[in-house]
Structure 1
Amino acid sequence: MRRLFIFAAGIAVLVGLVGLVLTRPKTVDQTQLNGVVPDLSRGETVFYAAGCASCHSAPNATGEEKLVLAGGRRFASDFGTFIAPNISSDPVTGIGSWSALDLANALLHGTGPEGQHYFPAFPYTSYANMSAEDVVSLHAFLGTLPAVPTQSAAHEVGFPFNIRRGLGGWKLLYLKPGWVVQGDLTDQQIQGRYLVEVLGHCAECHTPRNGLGGLKRDLWLTGAPNPSGKGRIPGLTSAQLDWSEADIAEYLKSGFTPDYDSAGGEMVEVIENTSRLTDDDRLAIAAYLKAVPASPTGSPSE
Protein backbone atom coordinates (compact mmCIF):
# COMPACT_ATOMS: atom_id res chain seq x y z
CA MET A 1 0.00 0.00 0.00
CA ARG A 2 2.84 2.35 0.88
CA ARG A 3 4.52 1.72 -2.47
CA LEU A 4 1.24 2.32 -4.27
CA PHE A 5 0.81 5.63 -2.44
CA ILE A 6 4.35 6.71 -3.32
CA PHE A 7 3.81 5.73 -6.95
CA ALA A 8 0.50 7.66 -7.12
CA ALA A 9 2.10 10.69 -5.50
CA GLY A 10 4.97 10.54 -7.97
CA ILE A 11 2.54 10.40 -10.91
CA ALA A 12 0.60 13.35 -9.47
CA VAL A 13 3.78 15.39 -9.12
CA LEU A 14 4.85 14.49 -12.66
CA VAL A 15 1.45 15.44 -14.08
CA GLY A 16 1.58 18.71 -12.14
CA LEU A 17 5.02 19.55 -13.49
CA VAL A 18 3.96 18.75 -17.06
CA GLY A 19 0.91 20.94 -16.56
CA LEU A 20 3.05 23.82 -15.32
CA VAL A 21 5.30 23.51 -18.36
CA LEU A 22 2.43 23.31 -20.84
CA THR A 23 0.55 26.26 -19.33
CA ARG A 24 3.50 28.58 -18.83
CA PRO A 25 3.21 31.98 -20.55
CA LYS A 26 4.95 32.05 -23.92
CA THR A 27 7.08 34.90 -25.24
CA VAL A 28 8.51 36.14 -28.53
CA ASP A 29 12.15 35.58 -29.41
CA GLN A 30 13.87 38.97 -29.59
CA THR A 31 15.50 37.97 -32.86
CA GLN A 32 12.08 38.18 -34.53
CA LEU A 33 12.15 41.95 -33.99
CA ASN A 34 15.84 42.59 -34.61
CA GLY A 35 16.41 44.98 -37.48
CA VAL A 36 12.73 45.90 -37.82
CA VAL A 37 12.45 49.65 -38.33
CA PRO A 38 9.24 51.31 -37.10
CA ASP A 39 7.10 53.23 -39.56
CA LEU A 40 4.92 55.79 -37.76
CA SER A 41 2.51 56.11 -40.67
CA ARG A 42 2.02 52.35 -40.73
CA GLY A 43 1.70 52.36 -36.94
CA GLU A 44 -1.17 54.84 -37.18
CA THR A 45 -2.91 52.64 -39.74
CA VAL A 46 -2.51 49.60 -37.49
CA PHE A 47 -3.84 51.62 -34.55
CA TYR A 48 -7.09 52.38 -36.36
CA ALA A 49 -7.41 49.04 -38.12
CA ALA A 50 -7.03 47.28 -34.76
CA GLY A 51 -9.55 49.56 -33.07
CA CYS A 52 -7.29 50.34 -30.11
CA ALA A 53 -9.17 53.50 -29.15
CA SER A 54 -12.53 51.74 -29.32
CA CYS A 55 -11.60 49.76 -26.21
CA HIS A 56 -8.95 51.80 -24.45
CA SER A 57 -10.19 55.39 -24.67
CA ALA A 58 -12.33 56.61 -21.80
CA PRO A 59 -16.06 55.81 -21.85
CA ASN A 60 -17.98 58.26 -24.06
CA ALA A 61 -14.77 59.80 -25.44
CA THR A 62 -15.15 61.54 -28.79
CA GLY A 63 -12.88 63.17 -31.37
CA GLU A 64 -9.33 63.79 -30.22
CA GLU A 65 -10.24 62.48 -26.77
CA LYS A 66 -10.08 59.00 -28.28
CA LEU A 67 -6.32 59.33 -28.52
CA VAL A 68 -6.20 59.52 -24.71
CA LEU A 69 -5.96 55.83 -23.89
CA ALA A 70 -6.75 55.97 -20.18
CA GLY A 71 -8.94 52.86 -20.26
CA GLY A 72 -11.97 52.32 -18.07
CA ARG A 73 -14.50 50.89 -20.50
CA ARG A 74 -16.39 47.91 -19.11
CA PHE A 75 -17.04 44.72 -21.07
CA ALA A 76 -19.49 42.28 -19.53
CA SER A 77 -19.27 38.58 -20.33
CA ASP A 78 -20.37 35.21 -19.01
CA PHE A 79 -17.06 35.00 -17.15
CA GLY A 80 -17.17 38.39 -15.44
CA THR A 81 -16.69 42.03 -16.35
CA PHE A 82 -13.42 43.06 -17.94
CA ILE A 83 -12.25 46.66 -17.67
CA ALA A 84 -9.96 48.03 -20.35
CA PRO A 85 -6.60 49.10 -18.89
CA ASN A 86 -4.63 52.28 -19.41
CA ILE A 87 -2.37 51.77 -22.44
CA SER A 88 -1.26 55.37 -22.71
CA SER A 89 2.40 56.35 -22.89
CA ASP A 90 2.55 57.00 -19.15
CA PRO A 91 5.50 54.93 -17.88
CA VAL A 92 3.89 54.16 -14.52
CA THR A 93 0.16 53.69 -15.04
CA GLY A 94 0.27 53.00 -18.79
CA ILE A 95 2.64 51.12 -21.08
CA GLY A 96 5.16 53.89 -21.67
CA SER A 97 7.93 51.76 -20.20
CA TRP A 98 7.17 48.80 -22.46
CA SER A 99 9.62 47.77 -25.14
CA ALA A 100 8.51 46.64 -28.58
CA LEU A 101 9.20 43.10 -27.34
CA ASP A 102 6.78 43.60 -24.43
CA LEU A 103 4.08 44.69 -26.85
CA ALA A 104 4.84 41.75 -29.14
CA ASN A 105 4.46 39.34 -26.22
CA ALA A 106 1.08 40.86 -25.36
CA LEU A 107 -0.24 40.91 -28.92
CA LEU A 108 1.07 37.57 -30.16
CA HIS A 109 0.92 35.44 -27.00
CA GLY A 110 -1.29 37.29 -24.53
CA THR A 111 1.61 37.52 -22.10
CA GLY A 112 2.34 40.54 -19.89
CA PRO A 113 5.74 42.02 -19.04
CA GLU A 114 5.73 40.28 -15.67
CA GLY A 115 5.07 36.91 -17.28
CA GLN A 116 1.35 36.82 -16.54
CA HIS A 117 -1.37 35.51 -18.82
CA TYR A 118 -3.78 38.13 -20.15
CA PHE A 119 -7.49 37.41 -20.33
CA PRO A 120 -8.70 36.83 -23.90
CA ALA A 121 -11.05 39.81 -23.63
CA PHE A 122 -7.89 41.31 -25.16
CA PRO A 123 -8.17 39.70 -28.63
CA TYR A 124 -4.69 38.25 -28.88
CA THR A 125 -6.14 35.11 -30.47
CA SER A 126 -6.65 37.32 -33.55
CA TYR A 127 -3.53 39.47 -33.16
CA ALA A 128 -1.40 36.31 -33.01
CA ASN A 129 -0.83 36.55 -36.77
CA MET A 130 0.31 40.17 -36.69
CA SER A 131 3.57 40.87 -38.51
CA ALA A 132 6.70 41.99 -36.66
CA GLU A 133 6.72 45.19 -38.73
CA ASP A 134 3.20 46.07 -37.59
CA VAL A 135 3.97 45.34 -33.94
CA VAL A 136 7.06 47.55 -33.96
CA SER A 137 5.29 50.33 -35.88
CA LEU A 138 2.28 50.25 -33.54
CA HIS A 139 4.62 50.42 -30.54
CA ALA A 140 6.26 53.54 -32.00
CA PHE A 141 2.90 55.21 -32.74
CA LEU A 142 1.51 54.50 -29.27
CA GLY A 143 4.56 56.29 -27.86
CA THR A 144 3.47 59.50 -29.60
CA LEU A 145 0.07 59.60 -27.87
CA PRO A 146 -0.67 61.47 -24.61
CA ALA A 147 0.48 60.05 -21.28
CA VAL A 148 -2.32 59.73 -18.73
CA PRO A 149 -1.62 59.06 -15.02
CA THR A 150 -4.80 57.05 -14.50
CA GLN A 151 -4.53 53.78 -12.61
CA SER A 152 -6.08 50.81 -14.39
CA ALA A 153 -9.04 49.22 -12.61
CA ALA A 154 -9.02 45.54 -11.70
CA HIS A 155 -11.18 43.17 -13.69
CA GLU A 156 -14.30 41.93 -11.92
CA VAL A 157 -13.80 38.22 -12.49
CA GLY A 158 -14.59 35.62 -9.83
CA PHE A 159 -13.29 32.13 -9.06
CA PRO A 160 -12.27 30.01 -10.91
CA PHE A 161 -11.90 32.30 -13.93
CA ASN A 162 -9.59 34.64 -12.01
CA ILE A 163 -6.88 31.95 -11.84
CA ARG A 164 -4.62 33.21 -14.58
CA ARG A 165 -2.50 30.08 -14.75
CA GLY A 166 -5.57 28.28 -16.03
CA LEU A 167 -5.51 30.55 -19.06
CA GLY A 168 -2.44 28.65 -20.19
CA GLY A 169 -4.66 25.63 -20.72
CA TRP A 170 -7.25 27.77 -22.50
CA LYS A 171 -4.55 29.06 -24.84
CA LEU A 172 -3.50 25.50 -25.69
CA LEU A 173 -7.02 24.98 -27.00
CA TYR A 174 -7.79 28.29 -28.66
CA LEU A 175 -4.66 30.36 -29.30
CA LYS A 176 -3.83 28.86 -32.68
CA PRO A 177 -2.00 31.10 -35.16
CA GLY A 178 -2.91 30.43 -38.76
CA TRP A 179 -5.47 31.46 -41.33
CA VAL A 180 -9.09 30.41 -41.25
CA VAL A 181 -9.98 31.18 -44.86
CA GLN A 182 -7.41 29.55 -47.10
CA GLY A 183 -7.18 28.38 -50.68
CA ASP A 184 -6.42 30.12 -53.94
CA LEU A 185 -6.92 33.73 -52.84
CA THR A 186 -6.03 36.82 -54.84
CA ASP A 187 -3.53 39.34 -53.51
CA GLN A 188 -6.45 41.64 -52.70
CA GLN A 189 -8.24 38.91 -50.74
CA ILE A 190 -5.03 38.10 -48.86
CA GLN A 191 -4.72 41.77 -47.91
CA GLY A 192 -8.33 41.73 -46.75
CA ARG A 193 -7.80 38.53 -44.81
CA TYR A 194 -5.04 40.17 -42.79
CA LEU A 195 -7.24 43.18 -42.06
CA VAL A 196 -10.26 41.07 -41.07
CA GLU A 197 -8.76 38.00 -39.38
CA VAL A 198 -5.90 39.82 -37.63
CA LEU A 199 -5.98 43.59 -37.20
CA GLY A 200 -9.74 44.09 -37.33
CA HIS A 201 -10.36 40.97 -35.20
CA CYS A 202 -13.87 40.88 -36.69
CA ALA A 203 -14.43 37.28 -35.62
CA GLU A 204 -14.28 38.25 -31.96
CA CYS A 205 -17.82 39.62 -32.32
CA HIS A 206 -19.14 38.01 -35.50
CA THR A 207 -18.27 34.36 -34.71
CA PRO A 208 -20.10 32.25 -32.10
CA ARG A 209 -18.25 30.85 -29.08
CA ASN A 210 -18.41 27.60 -27.18
CA GLY A 211 -18.96 27.16 -23.46
CA LEU A 212 -15.31 27.94 -22.69
CA GLY A 213 -15.35 31.16 -24.67
CA GLY A 214 -13.38 29.79 -27.61
CA LEU A 215 -14.31 30.83 -31.13
CA LYS A 216 -16.13 28.21 -33.19
CA ARG A 217 -13.86 28.47 -36.18
CA ASP A 218 -16.07 26.08 -38.16
CA LEU A 219 -18.76 28.79 -37.99
CA TRP A 220 -16.43 31.62 -38.95
CA LEU A 221 -18.19 34.99 -39.23
CA THR A 222 -21.65 33.41 -39.27
CA GLY A 223 -22.96 35.70 -36.52
CA ALA A 224 -23.19 35.43 -32.75
CA PRO A 225 -25.29 36.44 -29.75
CA ASN A 226 -24.66 39.99 -28.60
CA PRO A 227 -22.74 39.87 -25.28
CA SER A 228 -25.09 42.59 -23.98
CA GLY A 229 -27.92 40.08 -24.24
CA LYS A 230 -29.78 42.29 -26.69
CA GLY A 231 -30.19 40.97 -30.20
CA ARG A 232 -27.67 39.23 -32.37
CA ILE A 233 -24.51 40.30 -34.16
CA PRO A 234 -25.06 39.55 -37.87
CA GLY A 235 -23.12 37.12 -40.01
CA LEU A 236 -20.72 38.38 -42.66
CA THR A 237 -20.32 35.31 -44.85
CA SER A 238 -21.02 35.27 -48.57
CA ALA A 239 -24.35 33.54 -47.85
CA GLN A 240 -25.54 36.12 -45.34
CA LEU A 241 -24.29 39.46 -46.67
CA ASP A 242 -25.64 40.02 -50.17
CA TRP A 243 -24.10 43.46 -50.62
CA SER A 244 -21.67 44.01 -53.47
CA GLU A 245 -18.00 44.63 -52.75
CA ALA A 246 -18.56 48.31 -53.55
CA ASP A 247 -21.48 48.40 -51.08
CA ILE A 248 -19.33 46.91 -48.31
CA ALA A 249 -16.46 49.30 -48.99
CA GLU A 250 -18.82 52.29 -48.93
CA TYR A 251 -20.37 51.14 -45.65
CA LEU A 252 -16.90 50.89 -44.09
CA LYS A 253 -16.19 54.42 -45.28
CA SER A 254 -19.41 56.32 -44.64
CA GLY A 255 -21.53 54.03 -42.49
CA PHE A 256 -24.36 54.06 -45.02
CA THR A 257 -25.94 50.83 -46.22
CA PRO A 258 -27.13 50.23 -49.79
CA ASP A 259 -30.66 51.01 -48.49
CA TYR A 260 -29.50 54.40 -47.20
CA ASP A 261 -29.73 53.28 -43.59
CA SER A 262 -26.81 54.07 -41.31
CA ALA A 263 -24.64 52.10 -38.91
CA GLY A 264 -25.73 51.96 -35.31
CA GLY A 265 -24.56 50.62 -31.98
CA GLU A 266 -20.96 49.48 -31.68
CA MET A 267 -20.55 49.55 -35.46
CA VAL A 268 -20.44 53.35 -35.26
CA GLU A 269 -17.02 53.13 -33.64
CA VAL A 270 -15.92 50.45 -36.07
CA ILE A 271 -16.80 52.75 -38.97
CA GLU A 272 -14.86 55.57 -37.32
CA ASN A 273 -11.82 53.32 -37.55
CA THR A 274 -12.34 51.82 -41.00
CA SER A 275 -13.10 55.25 -42.46
CA ARG A 276 -9.47 56.12 -41.73
CA LEU A 277 -8.17 53.27 -43.87
CA THR A 278 -7.47 53.63 -47.57
CA ASP A 279 -9.99 52.84 -50.29
CA ASP A 280 -7.75 49.91 -51.25
CA ASP A 281 -7.92 48.54 -47.71
CA ARG A 282 -11.70 48.78 -47.58
CA LEU A 283 -12.06 47.11 -50.97
CA ALA A 284 -9.68 44.38 -49.81
CA ILE A 285 -11.86 43.75 -46.77
CA ALA A 286 -14.89 43.52 -49.04
CA ALA A 287 -13.13 41.10 -51.40
CA TYR A 288 -12.18 38.87 -48.47
CA LEU A 289 -15.70 38.83 -47.04
CA LYS A 290 -17.11 37.76 -50.41
CA ALA A 291 -14.65 34.86 -50.31
CA VAL A 292 -15.75 33.62 -46.87
CA PRO A 293 -17.88 30.49 -47.34
CA ALA A 294 -21.24 30.13 -45.60
CA SER A 295 -19.46 27.79 -43.16
CA PRO A 296 -17.49 24.57 -43.47
CA THR A 297 -20.52 22.75 -42.05
CA GLY A 298 -22.59 23.87 -45.01
CA SER A 299 -24.91 26.45 -43.52
CA PRO A 300 -24.69 29.56 -41.39
CA SER A 301 -25.44 29.33 -37.68
CA GLU A 302 -28.95 30.02 -36.47
Structure 2
Amino acid sequence: MNSCHSRLIAACLSAFMTACVSIPPLQDSVSVYVEQQKASARALENQGRFAESLSRWRSLLALDLPGAEVPDAIDKLERIISTKVAHAWREAEAAYTREDNRRGDTWMLKVLALEPGSEKARRRLAASKSVRNRAQLDKKSSQETQQRLVRERRAPGGINHTLEALKKQHDYAGMLAVGRAMEGPPDTQSTELLYHANLALADQAEQSNNLEAALTHLQAALILKPHSDDPLASRVHNIRGKLSTVWYRQGIQLVNVDLTQAIAALEKSLSYNADNQAAQRKLKQTRTLFHNLQRIQAKSTQQ
Protein backbone atom coordinates (compact mmCIF):
# COMPACT_ATOMS: atom_id res chain seq x y z
CA MET A 1 0.00 0.00 0.00
CA ASN A 2 2.89 2.34 0.86
CA SER A 3 4.64 1.48 -2.42
CA CYS A 4 1.47 2.26 -4.42
CA HIS A 5 1.01 5.55 -2.57
CA SER A 6 4.62 6.56 -3.26
CA ARG A 7 4.23 5.81 -6.99
CA LEU A 8 1.06 7.96 -7.11
CA ILE A 9 2.80 10.92 -5.45
CA ALA A 10 5.74 10.59 -7.85
CA ALA A 11 3.41 10.58 -10.85
CA CYS A 12 1.59 13.71 -9.64
CA LEU A 13 4.86 15.55 -9.06
CA SER A 14 6.06 14.61 -12.53
CA ALA A 15 2.85 15.91 -14.14
CA PHE A 16 3.04 19.16 -12.18
CA MET A 17 6.66 19.80 -13.18
CA THR A 18 5.84 19.11 -16.84
CA ALA A 19 2.94 21.60 -16.72
CA CYS A 20 5.17 24.25 -15.16
CA VAL A 21 7.73 23.87 -17.93
CA SER A 22 5.03 24.22 -20.63
CA ILE A 23 3.67 27.58 -19.26
CA PRO A 24 5.62 30.52 -20.76
CA PRO A 25 6.98 33.05 -18.28
CA LEU A 26 4.53 35.84 -17.43
CA GLN A 27 7.06 38.50 -18.44
CA ASP A 28 7.21 37.08 -21.98
CA SER A 29 3.42 37.27 -22.31
CA VAL A 30 3.43 40.90 -21.14
CA SER A 31 6.18 41.78 -23.62
CA VAL A 32 4.20 40.27 -26.49
CA TYR A 33 1.08 42.19 -25.44
CA VAL A 34 3.02 45.46 -25.18
CA GLU A 35 4.56 45.09 -28.63
CA GLN A 36 1.18 44.21 -30.14
CA GLN A 37 -0.40 47.32 -28.59
CA LYS A 38 2.44 49.53 -29.81
CA ALA A 39 2.25 48.14 -33.35
CA SER A 40 -1.53 48.58 -33.38
CA ALA A 41 -1.23 52.16 -32.07
CA ARG A 42 1.31 53.11 -34.75
CA ALA A 43 -0.81 51.55 -37.51
CA LEU A 44 -3.91 53.42 -36.34
CA GLU A 45 -2.00 56.71 -36.24
CA ASN A 46 -0.77 56.14 -39.81
CA GLN A 47 -4.42 55.64 -40.84
CA GLY A 48 -5.39 58.95 -39.23
CA ARG A 49 -7.39 57.20 -36.48
CA PHE A 50 -5.77 59.29 -33.76
CA ALA A 51 -8.31 58.73 -30.97
CA GLU A 52 -8.03 54.94 -31.29
CA SER A 53 -4.24 55.17 -31.43
CA LEU A 54 -4.23 57.29 -28.28
CA SER A 55 -6.44 54.72 -26.55
CA ARG A 56 -3.93 51.96 -27.38
CA TRP A 57 -1.01 53.92 -25.95
CA ARG A 58 -2.97 54.85 -22.83
CA SER A 59 -3.77 51.18 -22.21
CA LEU A 60 -0.04 50.66 -21.55
CA LEU A 61 0.18 53.27 -18.78
CA ALA A 62 -1.09 50.84 -16.13
CA LEU A 63 1.91 48.56 -16.82
CA ASP A 64 4.29 51.29 -15.65
CA LEU A 65 6.81 50.46 -18.39
CA PRO A 66 10.35 51.87 -18.17
CA GLY A 67 11.43 54.64 -20.53
CA ALA A 68 9.63 57.62 -22.05
CA GLU A 69 8.27 56.01 -25.23
CA VAL A 70 4.68 55.63 -23.99
CA PRO A 71 4.24 59.08 -22.35
CA ASP A 72 5.98 60.73 -25.32
CA ALA A 73 3.66 59.02 -27.80
CA ILE A 74 0.61 60.01 -25.72
CA ASP A 75 1.78 63.63 -25.48
CA LYS A 76 2.39 63.80 -29.23
CA LEU A 77 -1.06 62.40 -30.07
CA GLU A 78 -2.80 64.70 -27.60
CA ARG A 79 -1.19 67.71 -29.31
CA ILE A 80 -2.18 66.45 -32.77
CA ILE A 81 -5.77 65.85 -31.63
CA SER A 82 -5.99 69.24 -29.91
CA THR A 83 -4.85 71.04 -33.09
CA LYS A 84 -7.22 69.11 -35.33
CA VAL A 85 -10.17 69.55 -32.95
CA ALA A 86 -9.62 73.32 -32.84
CA HIS A 87 -9.54 73.45 -36.65
CA ALA A 88 -12.66 71.30 -36.99
CA TRP A 89 -14.57 73.43 -34.45
CA ARG A 90 -13.64 76.60 -36.32
CA GLU A 91 -14.78 75.18 -39.66
CA ALA A 92 -18.00 73.84 -38.12
CA GLU A 93 -18.95 77.12 -36.46
CA ALA A 94 -18.18 79.05 -39.65
CA ALA A 95 -20.47 76.68 -41.58
CA TYR A 96 -23.25 76.96 -39.00
CA THR A 97 -22.94 80.76 -39.13
CA ARG A 98 -23.48 80.55 -42.91
CA GLU A 99 -26.49 78.31 -42.16
CA ASP A 100 -24.73 75.46 -44.00
CA ASN A 101 -25.75 72.86 -41.43
CA ARG A 102 -24.77 69.88 -43.56
CA ARG A 103 -21.15 71.04 -43.78
CA GLY A 104 -21.19 72.09 -40.13
CA ASP A 105 -22.35 68.61 -39.11
CA THR A 106 -19.60 67.02 -41.21
CA TRP A 107 -16.95 68.98 -39.33
CA MET A 108 -18.62 68.31 -35.98
CA LEU A 109 -18.55 64.57 -36.69
CA LYS A 110 -14.80 64.93 -37.24
CA VAL A 111 -14.59 66.46 -33.76
CA LEU A 112 -16.39 63.41 -32.35
CA ALA A 113 -14.05 61.07 -34.24
CA LEU A 114 -11.12 62.82 -32.56
CA GLU A 115 -12.83 63.18 -29.16
CA PRO A 116 -15.46 60.40 -28.95
CA GLY A 117 -16.65 61.49 -25.50
CA SER A 118 -17.16 65.18 -26.32
CA GLU A 119 -20.56 66.15 -24.87
CA LYS A 120 -20.09 69.64 -26.26
CA ALA A 121 -19.90 68.29 -29.83
CA ARG A 122 -22.90 66.03 -29.23
CA ARG A 123 -24.96 68.99 -28.01
CA ARG A 124 -23.95 71.03 -31.07
CA LEU A 125 -25.02 68.21 -33.38
CA ALA A 126 -28.31 67.87 -31.50
CA ALA A 127 -28.93 71.61 -31.92
CA SER A 128 -28.22 71.34 -35.64
CA LYS A 129 -30.63 68.42 -35.93
CA SER A 130 -33.29 70.50 -34.19
CA VAL A 131 -32.78 73.27 -36.77
CA ARG A 132 -33.15 70.75 -39.62
CA ASN A 133 -36.31 69.33 -38.06
CA ARG A 134 -37.80 72.82 -37.79
CA ALA A 135 -36.92 73.47 -41.42
CA GLN A 136 -38.70 70.27 -42.45
CA LEU A 137 -41.76 71.26 -40.43
CA ASP A 138 -41.69 74.72 -42.01
CA LYS A 139 -41.50 73.14 -45.44
CA LYS A 140 -44.45 70.89 -44.64
CA SER A 141 -46.39 73.85 -43.26
CA SER A 142 -45.57 75.85 -46.38
CA GLN A 143 -46.86 73.05 -48.60
CA GLU A 144 -50.07 72.84 -46.58
CA THR A 145 -50.46 76.61 -46.77
CA GLN A 146 -49.95 76.51 -50.53
CA GLN A 147 -52.68 73.90 -50.87
CA ARG A 148 -54.98 76.03 -48.71
CA LEU A 149 -54.26 79.07 -50.84
CA VAL A 150 -55.21 77.23 -54.00
CA ARG A 151 -58.58 76.51 -52.42
CA GLU A 152 -58.98 80.06 -51.11
CA ARG A 153 -58.23 81.69 -54.45
CA ARG A 154 -61.41 80.13 -55.71
CA ALA A 155 -63.39 81.38 -52.71
CA PRO A 156 -64.98 84.85 -52.38
CA GLY A 157 -62.50 87.41 -51.03
CA GLY A 158 -59.37 85.39 -51.93
CA ILE A 159 -55.98 85.93 -50.22
CA ASN A 160 -56.71 89.30 -48.66
CA HIS A 161 -59.79 87.88 -46.98
CA THR A 162 -57.57 85.20 -45.40
CA LEU A 163 -54.98 87.75 -44.29
CA GLU A 164 -57.64 89.94 -42.71
CA ALA A 165 -59.09 86.96 -40.85
CA LEU A 166 -55.65 85.99 -39.51
CA LYS A 167 -54.95 89.59 -38.48
CA LYS A 168 -58.13 89.67 -36.38
CA GLN A 169 -56.89 86.51 -34.64
CA HIS A 170 -53.45 88.14 -34.10
CA ASP A 171 -51.95 85.20 -35.99
CA TYR A 172 -49.13 87.23 -37.53
CA ALA A 173 -46.93 84.20 -38.17
CA GLY A 174 -49.82 82.65 -40.08
CA MET A 175 -50.12 85.82 -42.15
CA LEU A 176 -46.46 85.60 -43.15
CA ALA A 177 -46.87 81.92 -44.04
CA VAL A 178 -49.69 82.93 -46.38
CA GLY A 179 -47.49 85.68 -47.81
CA ARG A 180 -44.60 83.28 -48.50
CA ALA A 181 -46.90 80.93 -50.36
CA MET A 182 -48.34 83.63 -52.63
CA GLU A 183 -47.62 83.43 -56.33
CA GLY A 184 -46.17 86.66 -57.64
CA PRO A 185 -45.83 89.98 -55.79
CA PRO A 186 -48.58 90.96 -53.32
CA ASP A 187 -51.08 93.63 -54.29
CA THR A 188 -51.39 96.91 -52.36
CA GLN A 189 -53.76 95.53 -49.73
CA SER A 190 -51.72 92.37 -49.19
CA THR A 191 -48.54 94.44 -48.91
CA GLU A 192 -50.07 96.59 -46.19
CA LEU A 193 -51.30 93.56 -44.26
CA LEU A 194 -47.95 91.76 -44.47
CA TYR A 195 -46.13 94.95 -43.49
CA HIS A 196 -48.33 95.18 -40.40
CA ALA A 197 -47.67 91.50 -39.55
CA ASN A 198 -43.89 91.97 -39.74
CA LEU A 199 -44.04 95.05 -37.52
CA ALA A 200 -46.17 93.23 -34.94
CA LEU A 201 -43.77 90.27 -34.85
CA ALA A 202 -40.76 92.62 -34.66
CA ASP A 203 -42.31 94.36 -31.64
CA GLN A 204 -42.99 91.03 -29.93
CA ALA A 205 -39.47 89.79 -30.60
CA GLU A 206 -37.83 92.98 -29.34
CA GLN A 207 -39.92 92.92 -26.16
CA SER A 208 -38.71 89.38 -25.46
CA ASN A 209 -35.12 90.48 -26.27
CA ASN A 210 -34.95 88.27 -29.36
CA LEU A 211 -33.09 90.91 -31.34
CA GLU A 212 -32.19 88.67 -34.27
CA ALA A 213 -35.85 87.83 -34.93
CA ALA A 214 -36.80 91.50 -34.52
CA LEU A 215 -34.17 92.48 -37.08
CA THR A 216 -35.42 89.87 -39.55
CA HIS A 217 -39.00 91.14 -39.40
CA LEU A 218 -38.02 94.82 -39.59
CA GLN A 219 -35.90 94.18 -42.66
CA ALA A 220 -38.78 92.27 -44.24
CA ALA A 221 -41.08 95.23 -43.57
CA LEU A 222 -38.60 97.60 -45.21
CA ILE A 223 -38.44 95.39 -48.29
CA LEU A 224 -42.24 95.39 -48.56
CA LYS A 225 -42.49 99.19 -48.32
CA PRO A 226 -39.11 100.78 -49.06
CA HIS A 227 -38.76 104.50 -48.28
CA SER A 228 -35.53 106.47 -48.14
CA ASP A 229 -36.56 108.29 -44.96
CA ASP A 230 -38.42 105.39 -43.32
CA PRO A 231 -38.02 105.60 -39.51
CA LEU A 232 -37.72 101.81 -39.51
CA ALA A 233 -34.28 102.19 -41.09
CA SER A 234 -32.92 103.87 -37.95
CA ARG A 235 -34.57 101.19 -35.82
CA VAL A 236 -32.85 98.50 -37.90
CA HIS A 237 -29.53 100.33 -37.52
CA ASN A 238 -30.01 100.50 -33.75
CA ILE A 239 -30.80 96.79 -33.41
CA ARG A 240 -27.83 95.81 -35.59
CA GLY A 241 -25.64 97.89 -33.29
CA LYS A 242 -27.03 96.12 -30.22
CA LEU A 243 -26.47 92.70 -31.79
CA SER A 244 -22.92 93.65 -32.71
CA THR A 245 -22.28 94.59 -29.08
CA VAL A 246 -23.85 91.37 -27.79
CA TRP A 247 -21.65 89.19 -30.00
CA TYR A 248 -18.57 91.32 -29.26
CA ARG A 249 -19.04 90.78 -25.52
CA GLN A 250 -19.57 87.07 -26.05
CA GLY A 251 -16.37 86.93 -28.08
CA ILE A 252 -14.46 88.67 -25.27
CA GLN A 253 -15.73 86.10 -22.75
CA LEU A 254 -14.77 83.19 -25.02
CA VAL A 255 -11.17 84.30 -25.66
CA ASN A 256 -9.94 82.62 -22.47
CA VAL A 257 -12.14 79.57 -23.01
CA ASP A 258 -12.24 78.66 -26.71
CA LEU A 259 -10.42 80.72 -29.35
CA THR A 260 -12.30 79.07 -32.20
CA GLN A 261 -15.68 80.09 -30.83
CA ALA A 262 -14.34 83.51 -29.83
CA ILE A 263 -13.32 84.19 -33.44
CA ALA A 264 -16.73 83.04 -34.72
CA ALA A 265 -18.50 85.35 -32.23
CA LEU A 266 -16.35 88.36 -33.16
CA GLU A 267 -16.92 87.70 -36.86
CA LYS A 268 -20.65 87.64 -36.20
CA SER A 269 -20.33 90.93 -34.32
CA LEU A 270 -18.81 92.51 -37.42
CA SER A 271 -21.47 90.97 -39.65
CA TYR A 272 -23.99 93.15 -37.80
CA ASN A 273 -21.79 96.24 -37.69
CA ALA A 274 -18.70 96.25 -39.88
CA ASP A 275 -17.64 99.58 -38.32
CA ASN A 276 -17.37 98.17 -34.79
CA GLN A 277 -13.72 99.11 -34.23
CA ALA A 278 -13.46 97.34 -30.87
CA ALA A 279 -14.59 94.08 -32.51
CA GLN A 280 -12.17 94.65 -35.40
CA ARG A 281 -9.20 95.05 -33.04
CA LYS A 282 -10.18 92.11 -30.84
CA LEU A 283 -10.74 89.85 -33.84
CA LYS A 284 -7.30 90.72 -35.23
CA GLN A 285 -5.67 90.03 -31.84
CA THR A 286 -7.55 86.74 -31.39
CA ARG A 287 -6.70 85.49 -34.87
CA THR A 288 -3.03 86.31 -34.29
CA LEU A 289 -3.09 84.45 -30.96
CA PHE A 290 -4.86 81.47 -32.57
CA HIS A 291 -2.33 81.22 -35.44
CA ASN A 292 0.63 81.58 -33.05
CA LEU A 293 -0.69 78.74 -30.89
CA GLN A 294 -1.20 76.59 -33.98
CA ARG A 295 2.42 77.17 -35.06
CA ILE A 296 3.70 76.34 -31.59
CA GLN A 297 1.62 73.14 -31.49
CA ALA A 298 2.77 72.18 -35.00
CA LYS A 299 6.44 72.61 -34.02
CA SER A 300 5.90 70.59 -30.84
CA THR A 301 4.29 67.81 -32.88
CA GLN A 302 7.22 67.68 -35.29
CA GLN A 303 9.77 67.39 -32.47
- Coarse TM-score class (shorter-chain normalised): under 0.3
Query: Larger C-alpha radius of gyration, 1 or 2?
Result: 2
User: TM-score of the superposition, structure 1-length normalised?
Assistant: 0.22
The higher-RCO structure (CA 8 Å, 6+ apart) is: 1
